A and B are shown apart, each in its own frame.
Chain A
């Protein structure tokens, strides 16, 4: 998960989930960092979270110098994210100083400098012993005063002053047309520059973060998706650079003995991931529910993401085939999380999944169906996201089961989900529907199972109110048919 920490620069953790991983520990300690981006991309929020987490997690008081919002506006705006600035201010952990530059009431004559700003900042820092400082957005001074040459040299002096003061600072800047910031602040802040971006792809807004430079430190160079929700900013953790997760030799059951028997190990390795694909109505969800049931019976917490059915509906439908999940839902061993896939962007889903995994610490995770997530992103994104997701599950040694809806049994390999997941999944089970002699026949077979022998036969799948049954084919399917399948 982490980039190796072989750099000597001391770092200050940001408290922004995921960002510390990308930067190998945080922002450069005692130095200014520039965060730039267009309006509304989350700069201020980033900065606020940096201060708040500094106080709550690192015990480092902070000063927020705002050139745009008043202290009151700022407090109200971030309140919705669970940041209680009022309390932090009362506890003398945080100081907000709003610098209002009203051009209409200012006249310039002769020489001046920004010493007043330095004094205010110095006073604010010293009054609470601040270790972290945010200047949001210092470029506003250019809007209020005319002497840009002087302002530039003063801002340069300010950054040097911050360094001498030894505070870790975030300076935000508005994105310029040809440069990172309108006033070219990136020339002065040479230690660390982070670019935030906000764009809309296929009607879904996505936020991206990129570390443009980080002097003297390794850092991830990609664009990382990040998001802002009711818990603040989080950056999506990167995919692991190495495949080094632990593996287990322990066998667990699919919750369906007849299915277990198709595998040589009589079950499924703990921490594996399994993919069940099939067209509509091939009982994928039933198999997934069996899996959930078996996990609950082992008294292991289970997280079920249902993107097509509400929890109530799922319970009712599964009860009709003899799977009673209700007691486990009541005892909180089972958590069912239902949401519409199109409600959020792909990253949001991934983040929610990761957060819930963190929160519940489940041993088993079921995503039913994973293919509905796929409809909301572009193919390269989907692949990256599924890879991240599977990485997270593997690292946490979680038994994972995904179902995927395929549209045409004949060319499943063109299917995006199957394409992306099948190479990542350890076990791949296909279920399908066929019309034979005027009857619909369900069948199941195993495409692959890593590290374990398995049957090659095509089993018939029957469903009644007691559950499902697997029977070896009565009439051996013709040679021709079998080849077509496998």
Chain B
């Protein structure tokens, strides 16, 4: 991964469910810790925009999609397993 690139993430949720809130809290935490501001998270609530589910092939909630860099990756669940999320997003630990 290039150092300059900004990771683009999208978190799909459906209303403020405990799972969604937890997922959002988790991803914010990991990003702050490891990405040093080089990231962008877009939150899409499918209850408000159901038509957006098709584009990213969303079926499970919550789903985190890494739009950039390619290839596209998806992580489903509340993101509670830090190790798995970092591997899934291909984020290297620095410390």
- A residues neighboring B (CB under 8 Å): 97, 99-102, 105-117, 119-120, 122-123, 141, 145
Contact = CB atoms under 8 A, between A and B. Distances in A.
Given A113-B60, A116-B60, A119-B53, 16 more contacts: A102-B57, A105-B73, A107-B84, A108-B84, A109-B76, A109-B84, A110-B19, A112-B60, A112-B61, A113-B61, A114-B60, A117-B59, A119-B46, A119-B47, A119-B50, A141-B59
B23 A110 contact: yes
Given A107-B87, A110-B23, A120 B80 contact: no
Contacts of B60: 112-117, 145
A67 to B, nearest CB: 9
Contacts of A115: 14, 46, 60-61
Interface of B: 12, 14, 19, 22-23, 26, 46-47, 50-51, 53-54, 57-63, 71-81, 84-85, 87-88
B81 to A, nearest CB: 4
Given A100-B57, A105-B72, A105-B74, A110 B46 contact: no
A109 B77 CA distance: 5
Contact of B88 (A109, A122, A141): A109
A122 B80 CA distance: 29
A108 B79 CA distance: 8
15 contacts: A97-B54, A99-B59, A105-B71, A106-B74, A107-B87, A108-B76, A108-B84, A110-B77, A110-B79, A110-B80, A112-B77, A114-B59, A114-B60, A120-B53, A123-B53
B84 to A, nearest CB: 4
Contacts of A123: 50-51, 53
B58 A120 contact: yes
Contacts of B47: 119
Contacts of B85: 107, 109
A116 B75 contact: no
A120 B54 contact: yes
Contacts of A120: 50, 53-54, 58-59
Contacts of B72: 105
Chain A CB within 10 Å — which of B23, B58, B59, B72 has the most?
B59
Contacts of A102: 57
Given A109-B75, A111-B19, A119 B80 contact: no
A123 B14 CA distance: 13
B2 to A, nearest CB: 21
B90 to A, nearest CB: 11
A86 B75 CA distance: 34
Contacts of A112: 19, 60-63, 76-78
Contacts of A141: 59
A114 to B, nearest CB: 6
A392 B85 CA distance: 66
B23 to A, nearest CB: 7
A101 B76 CA distance: 12
A147 B76 CA distance: 11
Given A99-B59, A111-B19, A106 B76 contact: yes
Contacts of B57: 99-102
B20 to A, nearest CB: 9
List the 10 closest A-B pairs by CB distance, nearest first.
Answer: A110-B78, A107-B88, A110-B80, A123-B50, A110-B77, A115-B61, A109-B81, A116-B58, A117-B59, A109-B84
B58 A114 contact: no
Contacts of A117: 59-60
Contacts of B50: 119-120, 122-123
A110 B22 contact: yes
A109 B74 CA distance: 11
Nearest to A141: B59
Nearest to B61: A115
A109 B89 CA distance: 12
B84 A111 contact: no
A329 B23 CA distance: 76
Nearest to B57: A100
Nearest to A100: B57
Contacts of B12: 116
A351 to B, nearest CB: 39
Nearest to B89: A107
A151 to B, nearest CB: 10
Nearest to B75: A107
Contacts of B19: 110-113
A107 B46 CA distance: 20
